[in-house]
Structure 1
Amino acid sequence: MEQEYDVVVIGGGPGGYVAAIRAAQLGRSVALVEKERPGGVCLNWGCIPTKAMLRSAEVLETVRHAEEYGVKAPEALLDYPAVVARRDGIVRGLTDGIARLLDANGVTVLTGHARFLDAHTVAVHDTVPPPGDENGPGYAAPPADGPPRTTIKGRNIVIATGSRPVAPRIDGGDLPGVITSDGAFGLPEVPRRVVVVGGSAIGAEWAGLLHSFGAEVTVVEIMSTLVPAEDVEIARMLTRAFDKRGIRVLTGHTVTGIRSVLGGLSVDVEAVGGGEAGEVPADVVLFGIGRLPNTEELDLDRAGVAVDVRGYILVDDQLRTDVAHIHAIGDVTGRRQLAHVASHQGLVAAGVICGHEESIDYSVIPAATFTHPEVASVGLTEARAADEGHAVVAARFPFAALGRAHTYGATEGMAKVVADSRTGRVLGMHIIGPGASELIAAPALALTHDATLASVAATIHAHPTLGEATLEATMSALGLPVHTAPRRRRSHRP
């Protein structure tokens, strides 16, 4: 007889395992089907391993500049195998920890690939091990045919199968040495020359990381700045910072083809609009653009679950699909493809399944890009706020005017606040500089609770800290700067 559960979760990434644990905490019987290791892309091939390697790069850069801090150190040398070993050890420890959490909460974990048989029944198939070749860690796949190992029933089902990077569809995109961001984890050594295609968060992080490790890096980005989703001032500052570090940045350019040549690869680039064209030599070409949802092999049609033309599952603000008892969370929903969004969606979906009146608000989602300097933001950009009809006031505070930044040895960057001058409500905060990814949490809380410039300015911040930058930017927006000279505030009125 098929085992029946209150909740069946398909996918054990940052959305799936969180949803499973929360549903179990709320008293439901829960099964989680995961075809590989718990933690999903974020933990195994994304957020955590890249940050582990970025930390190694940060330590390397610090030692290289140790004399600036009055410390004499021997020559800093990179031990790339040791970096990889440390990274993999961290990932193993965290995946093991998630497995223990699932067990401690009474979640039944089934290893295999899930396919719908009907709207309540899921077949669990054995999977084919991933190849693990130079093109990346690979993903376990279901066999082409054959009966399932087992079937289970779910009164409610949560789909959390995530996404995968898009392979390039250009001439030469299948050549050896052309990889996706996942494939970068399989590099046996640091390449001498790398072309990174795409200057958004993933591409920018890999570009900075490989440059710190000694690679000659060129970034090709079709938009006019790196991280084009960020506030334009922040994006321009990061673009200048990359150029200053010696990372070649070709914004407003696209890759038209890749050719194999003696000694490596040649990447054909062209200015947007058919302008200037050229070639960039490379040993590795890393594509950091776009992802596709993992929905094709779920047999969603058997469950009656609708998808859009790209394969993303359609959901409402309570994460319900068009089949009331089936929810979808994370990258497969096509909303914000961020691990923390998937986790929050998992909490909401589990709560809704358990009878709570919950929904998700996408207006306050912090984002961080772990470049050097870091970039983080929450809420509206200055341009977006003006487009939405706000009477915008924007002000900024440079880290160069902050005592803690000087003691830290990192004065590059600024904090920028965007607010509505009529109501005083804070609409967005944008940071580029040391610790930006940590600093953004407080502004996110402020936006969640509709804080005003006055209420933020009235909040005492510890001194000396990097967090004072957001306070000072807020006071400047009020026309009351203390640690910078008065300047005309930028404002827009509808």
Structure 2
Amino acid sequence: MTDYDVIVIGSGPGGYVSAIRCAQLGLKTACVEGRDTLGGTCLNVGCIPSKALLHATEQLHEAETNFEKMGLKVKAPTVDWKQMLAYKDDVISQNTNGIEFLFKKNKIDWLKGWGSIPEAGKVKVGDETHTAKNIIVASGSEASSLPGVEVDEKMVVTSTGALELGKIPKKMVVIGAGVIGLELGSVYKRLGAEVTVIEFLDTITPGMDAEVCRQFQKLLGKQGLDFVLGAAVQGAATSKSKATVTYKLRKDDSEHTIDADTVLVATGRRPYTDGLGLDALGIAMTDRGQIKTDGHYATSVKGIYAIGDAIAGPMLAHKAEDEGVAVAEILAGQAGHVNYNVIPSVIYTHPEVASVGKTEEQLKEAGVDYKIGKFSFMGNGRAKANFAADGFVKLLADKKTDRIVGVHIIGPMAGDLIHEVCVAMEFGAAAEDLARTCHAHPTYSEAVREAALACGDGPIHA
């Protein structure tokens, strides 16, 4: 048994970042992880491996569609699926090994095994019980499913199974038109699968700015993804050779079926807190199964804190990371803080989609008087040169103060472009501040500046 200042349960982005920050602040720290590798869902079976496959298949798309236009004469590329998976696994190893190195560098003990909290101040891992002044629960989330849809991770899969299929399916059905479904659906479409996305709502990516959403669906449709919207999945039956998904259209209650080699269940995620012993401790939970915390990440039991997917808020790795830093600083006597109004979200399809702040619909509902600055990537020289002119930047500013309240981008490198806006919003910048900031030419970022200019006298290149 070892005494610690802090024990973190879970080594995902929230957990490992929190552990490192605790150690940097002089706290004796340990992190509990039951996987064979650190990094949690994100690094092992989530964010990182999916981006590897997205990158590989985007390169395939470029070779198939744009190389010849640029005078690059090559034979039609073929896909070595085993090698692509090996590349993906190598990317995972590089990242997870990197976290292990950081733990050693910062003198963080890795308590290998699955943890539980028998009482406040104690964490049990295997047969050993460790004591800690404070415990941080960063246990993350797991994929959720639907009634009548039994996941076997072979034919009916979550994102975990979709990242290691034995072969590329000829037909794939994706249940759920959110981030995970559209990213992995895009991967397999580029690899040659027929992909049909079934969504309960009448729109893809719920909560996204409606104008961006319409453009996004249109572009994905051009890439060959089929959408069945307003459809309630009733179940999925499997045989040796195929899966059959049954769904009802909500508009007329008509029932339909569709066959596939693989069904990807991408209906969201839920907090993973099984086995921690939270019920016995009397830790308060929300109606959605999240751990209830106060403004300082403290649970209802003194000395136990929680962050990331296990608590309320968007299930985003970077949100968990910021919370991990904040709670570490709070425990060290500092003023840890997260600005939840400036947390970006990104969809890593092609083109990418990124947003931060309020949508136009949210501003209307709140009665905020706003103005819109919009600029198409068709007016951006770099985008046209790179066959990446689809999409636009949409900037929303308060009409009275000119303060930026939201930005929504669909286009090349949107996930990187959004961050200059995040910095601007963090410092309370006006659209004019962004418009008057010199941007290098030619870059995609000029489209962001042009959108800011559009909130004033108008963009230059439109």
Indicate the TM-score class for this superposition, using the shorter chain for normalisation. Answer: over 0.9
Amino acid at match of 1:58: E
**Local SS of the residue matching 1:394:** strand
TM-score normalised by L of structure 2: 0.96
Residue 230 of structure 2, aligned match among 229, 239, 252: 252
Are residues 1:8 and 2:10 paired?
no
Instruction: Supply the RMSD in Å over aligned alpha carbons.
Output: 1.5
Kindly provide the amino acid, as one letter, of the partner of residue 296 in structure 1: D
Match of 2:31 in 1: 32
Match of 2:158 in 1: 180
Aligned to 2:446: 468
Which residue does the alignment assign to 1:123? Answer: 124
Distance 1:175 1:271 in 2: 27
Count of aligned pairs between the two proteins:
460
Contact 1:296-1:311 within 8 A present in 2 as well: no
Native 8 Å contact 2:14 2:322 kept in 1 = yes
Q: 1:30, CA displacement in angstroms?
A: 0.6
- Does 1:170 pair with 2:169? no
Structure 1 residue 481: Cα displacement: 2.2
Counterpart residue number, 1:96: 97
1:78 is matched with which residue?
A: 79
Distance 1:104 1:303 in 2: 34
Which one-letter code corresponds to 1:470 in the other structure? V
- Name the CA shift for 1:287/1:171 in 2 (closer, same or farther; >3 Å): closer
Answer yes or no: is 1:43 the counterpart of 2:21.
Answer: no
Structure 1 counterpart of 2:220, one-letter code: F
Corresponding residue for residue 156 of structure 1: 134
Within 5 Å, give how 1:278-317 maps onto structure 2.
Answer: 278-317=256-295
SS in 2 for 1:95: helix
Q: Is 2:201 the counterpart of 1:223?
A: yes
Does 1:391 pair with 2:369? yes
Task: Show the counterpart of 2:414.
Answer: 436
What secondary structure sits across from 1:257 in the alignment? strand
Helix, strand or coil at the partner of 1:16 = helix
Unaligned stretches of 5+ in structure 1?
126-147, 485-494
Query: How far did residue 4 of structure 1 move?
Result: 0.9
- 2:106 maps to 105
**Contact in 2 for aligned 1:53/1:83 (Cα 8 Å):** yes
Is this contact kept in 2: 1:415–1:469, CA < 8 A? yes
1:378 aligns with 2:356: yes
| Residues 227-282 of structure 1: CA deviation (Å, up to 9, x unaligned) | 12211111111111111111111122222222346841222222224444422221
Q: Aligned partners of 1:300, 1:181: CA distance in 2, in Å?
A: 27
Contact 1:205-1:369 at 8 Å conserved across structures: yes
Q: CA deviation at 1:301?
A: 3.3
1:331-369 deviation per Cα after TM superposition (whole angstroms, max 9, x unaligned): 001311000011100000000000012222211110100
1:130-152 per-position Cα deviation (integer Å, ceiling 9, x unaligned):
xxxxxxxxxxxxxxxxxx2x110
- Superposed displacement of residue 315, structure 1: 1.1
Shift of 1:291: 1.3
Unaligned runs of 5+ in 2: none
Residue equivalent to 1:488: none
In 2, Cα distance between the equivalents of 1:25 and 1:263?
A: 54
Task: Name the SS for the 2:134 alignment partner.
Answer: strand
Secondary structure of 2:441 counterpart: coil
Q: Distance in 2 between matches of 1:48 and 1:77?
A: 24
Q: Which amino acid aligns with 1:407?
A: A
Q: State how far apart, in whole Å, the 1-side matches of 2:396 and 2:63 are.
A: 37
Given that 2:368 and 2:398 are in contact with CA atoms closer than 8 Å, whether structure 1 keeps it comes out as yes
Q: Larger deviation: 267-276 or 22-31?
A: 267-276
One-letter code aligned to 2:46: G
Q: Residues 205 and 175 of structure 1: is their aligned pair in 2 closer, same or farther, counting only changes over 3 Å?
A: closer
Residue in 2 that maps onto 1:22: 21
